[in-house]
């Protein structure tokens, strides 16, 4: 499974103009855009409107939150694209593809595969709790929030993948000349951002990041991982939020069952993508 990895995806960082100040400039630019949108969105728009809505207006709150999330991470993607194009002076496409192009069909495949695995494992381990979570949401809430949540989490997941499985490991590979170390470092960075939710979240996020990093090297682009990441975030927020502890700090406590469930989903996801990537199945990849 470690043969024929498309390491050239990471060497895309050698294209264009690269100096330490250019990297810092892009990071600063992204941070400024994100902070500005977050401040305006939360302090000036989101908080006042949410305060005016009562507990029963869940749909309005969800749609508003989705719009905010879409704007925030859409701004991050735009800032990254502008930085790569204008500061690094290289093609934007090098962020998400190498020898094999980003494919919308592969994105959908990654989304549906990961979603199916998440739901199946949730039903296997917590059947009644999963059913109760869906019932507690309510049909109308699920109906009206599906599209806004879907759009928001596709944008959010794509932004995180572009930065943490695209830009950062490419830059690190240029500096370290060690592709595997670059991917591992970016995975640790990804997990670090989830440390605030507790040790359990850090472990699950690290497993998630390492697995998706492998898929990126296996496929040579971000198609399936963007889809899988979007499915993970979308389902947790839209359907399975009562099962997830991602929004609650768990401190140093660890739920081994939750880690096991996450590991099962990740391993099966890799197996499916690996089988799909096998030369004998290349002609069957479009569905």
Asked whether residue 26 is domain-assigned, the answer is yes
d(CA 34, CA 28): 10
Tokens of 121: 């494992």
Look at residue 97 and give its three-state secondary structure.
Answer: strand
Q: HSE (CB half, 13 Å, CA atoms) of 52? A: 6
Asked whether residue 23 is domain-assigned, the answer is yes
Question: What pLDDT is attached to residue 149?
Answer: 95
Asked whether residue 219 is domain-assigned, the answer is yes
Portion of the chain with pLDDT greater than 70, in percent: 89
Asked whether residue 234 is domain-assigned, the answer is yes
Cα 22–24–29 angle (5° rounding)? Answer: 95
The winner for highest mean pLDDT among 194-198, 250-254, 264-268 is 264-268
Look at the chain and report how many structural domains it folds into. Answer: 1
Question: What pLDDT is attached to residue 243?
Answer: 38
Asked whether residue 247 is domain-assigned, the answer is yes
Question: What pLDDT is attached to residue 187?
Answer: 96
| pLDDT 10s digits, 123-156 | 999 888 888 878 888 888 889 999 999 999 999 9
pTM of structure: 0.89
Asked whether residue 150 is domain-assigned, the answer is yes
Which H or E run contains 23? helix 20-39
The winner for highest mean pLDDT among 37-51, 160-174, 246-260 is 160-174
Q: What is the Rg, in whole angstroms, of the alpha carbon atoms belonging to the chain?
A: 19
d(CA 115, CA 268): 12
Asked whether residue 2 is domain-assigned, the answer is no
Asked whether residue 1 is domain-assigned, the answer is no
Q: What is the extent of the structural domain holding 269?
A: 7-284
């Amino acid at each position: 499974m470690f043969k024929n990895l498309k390491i050239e995806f990471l060497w895309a960082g050698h294209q264009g103009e690269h100096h330490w100040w250019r990297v810092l400039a892009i990071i600063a630019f992204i941070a400024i855009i994100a902070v500005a949108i977050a401040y305006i969105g939360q302090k000036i728009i989101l908080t006042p409107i949410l305060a005016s809505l009562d507990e029963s207006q869940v749909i309005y709150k969800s749609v508003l939150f989705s719009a905010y999330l879409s704007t925030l991470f859409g701004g991050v993607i735009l800032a990254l694209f502008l930085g790569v194009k204008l500061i690094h002076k290289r093609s934007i496409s090098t962020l998400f593809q190498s020898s094999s192009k980003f494919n919308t069909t592969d994105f959908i495949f990654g989304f549906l595969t990961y979603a199916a695995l998440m739901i199946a494992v949730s039903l296997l381990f917590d059947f009644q709790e999963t059913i109760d979570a869906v019932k507690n949401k309510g049909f109308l809430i699920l109906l009206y929030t599906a599209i806004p949540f879907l759009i928001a989490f596709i944008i959010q997941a794509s932004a995180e993948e572009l930065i943490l499985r695209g830009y950062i490991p490419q830059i690190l590979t240029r500096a370290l000349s060690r592709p595997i170390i670059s991917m591992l470092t970016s995975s640790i960075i990804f997990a670090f951002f989830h440390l605030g939710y507790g040790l359990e979240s850090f472990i699950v996020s690290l497993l998630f990041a390492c697995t998706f990093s492998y898929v990126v090297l296996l496929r040579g682009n971000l198609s399936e991982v963007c889809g899988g990441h979007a499915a993970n975030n979308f389902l947790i927020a839209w359907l399975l939020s009562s099962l997830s502890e991602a929004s609650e700090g768990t401190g140093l406590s660890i739920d081994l069952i939750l880690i096991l469930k996450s590991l099962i989903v990740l391993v099966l996801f890799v197996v499916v993508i690996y089988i799909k990537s096998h030369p004998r199945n290349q002609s069957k990849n479009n569905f």
